[in-house]
């Protein structure tokens, strides 16, 4: 009986000691209003619009890359060539709808009679969609995560040209989804050996070799190529025995 009393007293003592810490917990600087809950309806409306639009377009390839790439840049011209060849293979092209590599991807699709899709996001330094997005395939998003779902769900492959933080974000999200089997396995192709070789080397040396944070087979998820024709060759080989194409996952 004495032992039981001792345990109870110790527990109460611990609780009392913890109270000051709970009292010092951080608090919001201002009262949160109910309007934050209503944001969910805006999110749902973006999902509905995106699904209804992209369901009708058919199989596409997503092209990622920097918004800052100029038309005289070799990678801009390469993105145009890649989109042209994808069009000849019967795929539509999805980009972020903005300038730079995105514009180049839409340009290559549009000028050669392909489906040219733009998934725009409201950003202060990107002024609307580029002129090469089909008028009926021009979607605008407020939320990055909704836009990413559309990029991933309807793409039969991902072609990634040099870019900044946004491009890296899109690349590693797709790699993670394939690695964890959250979406179907599909080509993720890095274009530009000079740009990508150092990053992949670090992943192999540090992430895999030193820290063992990935599997050796994960390195095969991101082949690096230089020419537009190599991109098409990888995609063509991947789909040569696949009779039916479909979205990468169902929500």
pLDDT digits (tens, 9 = 90+) for 226-235: 999 999 999 9
pLDDT computed for residue 161 by the predictor: 98
pTM, to two decimals: 0.86
Q: What share of the chain in percent tops pLDDT 70?
A: 88
pLDDT computed for residue 124 by the predictor: 67
Closest by CA to 159, choosing from 217, 101, 199, 117, is 101
pLDDT computed for residue 34 by the predictor: 63
Q: Which CATH architecture has domain 44-190?
A: 3-Layer(aba) Sandwich (3.40)
Give the separation between CA 160 and CA 143, rounded to whole angstroms.
22
Closest by CA to 79, choosing from 143, 163, 168, 165, is 163
Give the separation between CA 79 and CA 104, rounded to whole angstroms.
6
- Give 135's DSSP letter: G
Give the separation between CA 103 and CA 11, rounded to whole angstroms.
65
């Amino acid at each position: 009986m004495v032992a039981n009393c001792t345990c109870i007293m110790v527990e109460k003592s611990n609780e009392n000691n913890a109270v000051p810490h709970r009292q010092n917990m951080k608090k919001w600087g201002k009262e949160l209003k109910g309007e934050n809950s209503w944001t969910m309806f805006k999110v749902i409306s973006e999902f509905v619009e995106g699904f209804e639009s992209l369901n009708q377009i058919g199989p596409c390839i997503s092209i990622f890359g920097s918004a800052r790439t100029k038309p005289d840049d070799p990678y801009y011209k390469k993105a145009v060539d890649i989109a042209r060849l994808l069009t000849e293979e019967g795929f539509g092209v999805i980009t972020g709808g903005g300038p730079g590599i995105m514009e180049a991807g839409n340009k290559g699709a549009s000028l050669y009679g392909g489906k040219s899709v733009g998934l725009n996001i409201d950003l202060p330094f990107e002024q609307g969609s580029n002129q090469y997005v089909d008028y009926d395939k021009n979607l605008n998003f407020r939320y990055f995560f909704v836009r990413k779902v559309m990029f991933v769900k309807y793409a039969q492959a991902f072609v990634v040209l040099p870019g900044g933080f946004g491009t890296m974000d899109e690349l590693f999200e797709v790699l993670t989804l394939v690695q964890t089997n959250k979406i179907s396995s599909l080509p993720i192709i890095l274009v530009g050996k000079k740009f990508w070789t150092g990053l992949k080397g670090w992943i192999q040396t540090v992430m895999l070799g030193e820290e063992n944070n990935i599997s050796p087979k994960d390195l095969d998820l991101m082949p690096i190529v230089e020419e537009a024709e190599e991109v098409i060759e990888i995609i063509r080989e991947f789909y040569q025995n696949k009779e039916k194409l479909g979205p990468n996952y169902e929500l």
